Structures are given as C-alpha cells and as structure tokens.
Amino acid sequence: MTIKNQTEIKIERQASKERLEELGVFNWSIWTKEVSEFPWTYDESETCYFLEGDVVVTPDGGEAVSMGKGDLVTFPAGMSCTWKILSDVRKHYKFG
C-alpha cells in the first residue's frame, strides 16, 4: 500500500495471530499510558499492536481515527497528531 500523504494511518482491525507472528510483534517493546491527551510527531514510521486500550488519534488538519485492542496500526513518518487515550493503553511497538 502506498502512503498517499503524511496523515494516512493504516489500520488492520483484529489482525490474525499468523500476521502478528510473521511481523514478530510479540518480540517488540511494550509501551503503556494512562488516560490522557497529548500532541505527538512521528520522526519515523511506527507500527504498533494494541493489547489493551481505546484511543482516538487526530492528525493535524485531518480526520479523527479510532483504534484499540486487537488493532495493528502503522503511523507514517512526519505525521503530527493529537492522541486522546480513552482507556489505558498497552501496546507492542516498533519504529522504522
């Protein structure tokens, strides 16, 4: 899939165990964060898999995108956005 612009967030809803194993997701670091809201800019792309949580990410100048438990998400390099964590997050993540 080609990233059309810097605000395109790619989401695979309820990614299969096979897909996650193929990517090595369970060997990635884990990040946790409580309910909060904060700005973020991606210096490089990030792929993450949500183990827990419910989040709305709004790219600057773009539409809000909801994601959470079971979703495999890729954020593009160069994207600035606001994270709004609705329920505590626990996710595997990898940059680059």
pLDDT, one tens digit per residue, over 14-69 is 999 999 999 999 999 999 999 999 999 999 999 999 999 999 999 999 999 999 99
CB 67 within 8 A of CB 57: yes
Every domain of the chain and the residues it spans: 10-95
pLDDT at 4: 44
CB 56 within 8 A of CB 37: no
pLDDT at 30: 98
Quote the pTM value. Answer: 0.91
CATH superfamily of 10-95: Jelly Rolls (2.60.120.10)
pLDDT band, very low/low/confident/very high, at 1 (cuts 50, 70, 90) = very low
Q: pLDDT tens for residues 69-90?
A: 999 999 999 999 999 999 999 9
CB 71 within 8 A of CB 14: yes
Question: Of 23, 13, 10, 20, whose CA–CA distance to 76 is shortest?
Answer: 10
With residue 37 as reference, give the H or E element that holds it: strand 36-41
